[in-house]
A and B are shown apart, each in its own frame.
Chain A
């Protein structure tokens, strides 16, 4: 099981702060496709994935159960 944290607009759209993905191992690319299937309301355009609080730019990077995964829309702080 992998918990995927949601923030800002994504969180509002889904109505909860995390999505549970029923997998123990998958790549970033597979994760994004999977979330598109289970949460089709979500617009993941320009959304980035952070694993263990670092952005990941390799779509083939593997995520395992226990990793902290987050979907990050483009930031707008300051």
Chain B
């Protein structure tokens, strides 16, 4: 069976992600597509670059799938994240969740994208007209200060 959770350097085909979660017991399929935004706080992005620790990132995406299966019954999940250079409006991440009833599909999809931003080792570099920078800690939740581990929200 093709992988349900993976990192790719190629453009993401939405249909192929949706097809992975189609199931006779499902009454809803929710898709989330994260795209490259041009303007952030008044600053123009020219393009983005994503890097990932691929084996761990795929493992963590799979973990998010398991967490969703534990929280919402009879869900099917597929998540694909693209890395490399992405232009404005390119799809960075595609999430598909199928559930028997629609409410769960919305909740589970939202849960998936929030968890991606917490636990999956993927990094984004912004390229602006006047510079570039690797972006960290979008949630503004601290990891551990000065390299010393402490209590952390990432562990499950």
A: residues with CB less than 8 A from B are 5, 7-9, 11-12, 28-29, 32, 36, 44-50, 53-59, 70, 72-78
Contact = CB atoms under 8 A, between A and B. Distances in A.
Contacts of B119: 75
Given A8-B134, A57-B152, A73-B136, A78 B123 contact: no
Given A48-B152, A53-B55, A76 B145 contact: no
B100 interface: no
B87 interface: no
Given A7-B53, A47-B143, A53-B59, A76 B135 contact: yes
Interface string B143-155: 1111111111011
A75 B151 contact: no
Contacts of B142: 46
Contacts of A9: 123, 125, 134, 136
A69 to B, nearest CB: 11
A3 to B, nearest CB: 13
Nearest to A10: B134
B147 A32 contact: yes
17 contacts: A7-B51, A8-B51, A32-B147, A46-B136, A46-B143, A47-B147, A48-B144, A57-B144, A72-B121, A74-B137, A75-B120, A75-B121, A77-B52, A77-B93, A77-B116, A78-B81, A78-B116
Given A57-B152, A78-B116, 15 more contacts: A7-B51, A7-B52, A8-B123, A11-B51, A29-B148, A36-B147, A44-B146, A44-B147, A46-B144, A48-B154, A54-B56, A55-B152, A75-B123, A76-B137, A77-B116
B20 interface: no
Contacts of B6: none
Nearest to A47: B147
A72 B118 CA distance: 12
Contacts of B118: 75
Given A48-B143, A56-B149, A70-B53, A75 B136 contact: yes
